Amino acid sequence: MRRKDKEITDKKIIEEILSKSVLCRIAMIDDGRPYIVPLNYGYFNNELYFHSALTGKKIELLKLNKNVCFEIEYSTEIIKADVSCKWSMRYRSLIGYGTIEIIENNDQKRHGLDIIMAQNGKSLNNIYEEKQINNLLILKLKIDEISCKQSGNWN
């Protein structure tokens, strides 16, 4: 990381970003070109969980190459100033690398959905209709590497 003064190495802060954010962008390779999609997610035990349709470009690409890059930002805010070039941003963000596993087992899908629901505010008494479970996949991203940074006042 170029700006070591902005780097976050505190594991507690990194866990907070992973467990309190709601949007993750996943980057894949499409015939040598980057392809990125925004997804809501759930985080648990060094893994990110996403729900997906059974088919589509994302699934096709992941079947060809399970290696991904991901990005998450937390609590972003524009900081305005009188001079335009003095504007800045307050944020925490992380970029990581990992591998995706496509989950097709219905019990494991429910487990993944429970993690996603908990991340988004509903952790108990989740009800999933069998038809819905059969028409989705869960993508489980095992995190291999993360770099994290922040800007602005976080005191």
How confident is the model over 135-148, as pLDDT tens digits?
999 999 999 999 99
Going along the chain from its start, the domains and CATH numbers come out as 4-151 (2.30.110.10)
pTM higher than 0.85 for the full model? yes
At position 62, the amino acid (one-letter code) is L
Q: How confident is the model at residue 23 (pLDDT cuts 50, 70, 90)?
A: very high
In whole angstroms, give the CA distance from residue 122 to residue 118.
5
pLDDT, residue 79, reads 83
Residue 122 has pLDDT above 90, yes or no: no
Residue 78 has pLDDT above 90, yes or no: no
pLDDT, residue 153, reads 79
Residue listed under structure tokens 């496509």: 102
pLDDT, residue 132, reads 93
Residue 7 has pLDDT above 80, yes or no: yes
Residues 6+ apart with CB under 8 A from 24: 38, 39, 40, 41, 48, 50, 70, 71, 72
Residue 154 has pLDDT above 80, yes or no: no
